[in-house]
Amino acid sequence: MKRIMVTGALGQIGCDLVAKLRQIYGEEAVLATDIRQIHHETVQSGPFRTLDVTDNTAFYEAAREHKADTIIHLAALLSAKAESDPALAWHLNMGGLLSGLETARALSCQFFTPSSIAAFGSDTPKNSTPQDTLQRPLTMYGVSKVAGELLCDYYYHKYGVDTRGLRFPGLISHSAPPGGGTTDYAVDMYGSAISSGSYTSYINKGTYLDMMYMPDAIQAVITLMEADPSKLKHRNAFNVSAMSVDPEAIATNIRRHIPEFTLDYDVDPIRQAIANEWPDSIDATAAREEWGFDVQYDLNHMTDDMVSKLMVKLQADQSKIS
């Protein structure tokens, strides 16, 4: 990776990823793009361009003008939002991916796009879900992610495009808000614990899902993209995870810092049904063996960091008001 273009760069992953990529590869080397433009560090700290990824000509032109050798394609509609507008989800998730893959083919770029634990379904083994297994999701988000994994495989086998990808679990971070996924509750819980000392979860207790802290997710993208291609047997859609947790486990952990924190439930049937389809815990052995996947943060370490970062943010916001 030398000259990188990122789509959906103002989202939860993009904001942190662009900052890290600019730190490693240089500010001018990383073009951030998104359909919207907001007042944000990602827009100010290096090249930025508005781009609708479903416009394949504009996608190609942006990559060509930047002289990109790598495309990191993040723009997508996430699980809960996709269920409320399945046609838009298909149009964006598949149309945007096709624009990206065609651009990568035309310009000989390396190509990364994330899949998700949503690519599994209720028939998939729930515990220690294998890398290669049954994938029959019933959500539009899941359908688009399985189709996306297959399309990336196709471009590799048919055209030799260097496609790579990860099946991300729920990602927890503090710098940008999550974009409408099912695991957003975990991010929201940390924020509410700091600001109000209580949280009402839309996901029920006992619902275990894989999660990972954003710095580990970012490092996983970079390590995979820099990995020796001859070692990659799977290329696209590697299972990766750092922990399997339910809302109670996170709340108990937060109470190490905020003992009076209270957690209630008001379960949202739509997001709960999505979560019920997903594995309790996935097996990341292939990622470890093929390119050395590893994580730095377990639940304790992540909670310590989230709480301290959010406390600093809250204090800064309060001092701006007063």
Residues 225 and 275: beta-carbon distance below 8 Å: no
Confirm or reject binding of residue 74 to ligand NAD (CB under 6 A).
yes
Among 8, 100, 142, 165, binds ligand NAD (CB under 6 A): 8
Residues 231 and 290: beta-carbon distance below 8 Å: yes
Confirm or reject binding of residue 241 to ligand NAD (CB under 6 A).
no
Strand blocks (E) in 156-252? 163-164, 166-168, 170-172, 198-201, 209-213, 238-239, 243-245
DSSP structure class, residue 9: T
**How near is the Cβ of 322 to ligand NAD at its closest, in Å?**
31
Confirm or reject binding of residue 10 to ligand NAD (CB under 6 A).
yes
What is the C-alpha to C-alpha distance for residues 67 and 72, in angstroms, rounded to an integer? 14
Q: Which is nearer to ligand NAD, 222 or 258 (CB)?
A: 222
- Catalytic residues, which ones? 141
Confirm or reject binding of residue 179 to ligand NAD (CB under 6 A).
yes
Q: Which is nearer to ligand NAD, 175 or 198 (CB)?
A: 175
Residues 103 and 155: beta-carbon distance below 8 Å: no
**How near is the Cβ of 197 to ligand NAD at its closest, in Å?**
25
Q: Which is nearer to ligand NAD, 55 or 255 (CB)?
A: 55
205 CB-near residues (< 8 Å, 6+ apart): 246, 247, 248, 265
Q: 3-class DSSP state for residue 167? A: strand
Confirm or reject binding of residue 247 to ligand NAD (CB under 6 A).
no
Given the rule CB under 6 A, which of 71-79, 224-232, 256-264, 266-274 is the region that contacts ligand NAD?
A: 71-79
Cβ burial 226-241 (10 Å sphere, 16+ → b, else e): ebeeeebebbbbbbbb
Confirm or reject binding of residue 31 to ligand NAD (CB under 6 A).
no
Number of alpha helices (DSSP H) and beta strands (DSSP E) in the chain = 12, 14
Among 30, 53, 161, 307, binds ligand NAD (CB under 6 A): 53
* Of 120, 137, 118, 34, residue with least CA distance to 80: 118
Given the rule CB under 6 A, which of 172-180, 200-208, 285-293, 312-320 is the region that contacts ligand NAD?
A: 172-180
**How near is the Cβ of 49 to ligand NAD at its closest, in Å?**
11
At 140, which helix (H) or strand (E)? helix 140-159
Among 1, 4, 7, 287, binds ligand NAD (CB under 6 A): 7
Footprint of ligand NAD on 86-125 (CB under 6 A): 92, 96, 114, 116
List of residues contacting ligand NAD (CB under 6 A): 7-8, 10-14, 34-36, 51-54, 74-76, 78, 92, 96, 114, 116, 168, 170-171, 178-181, 183
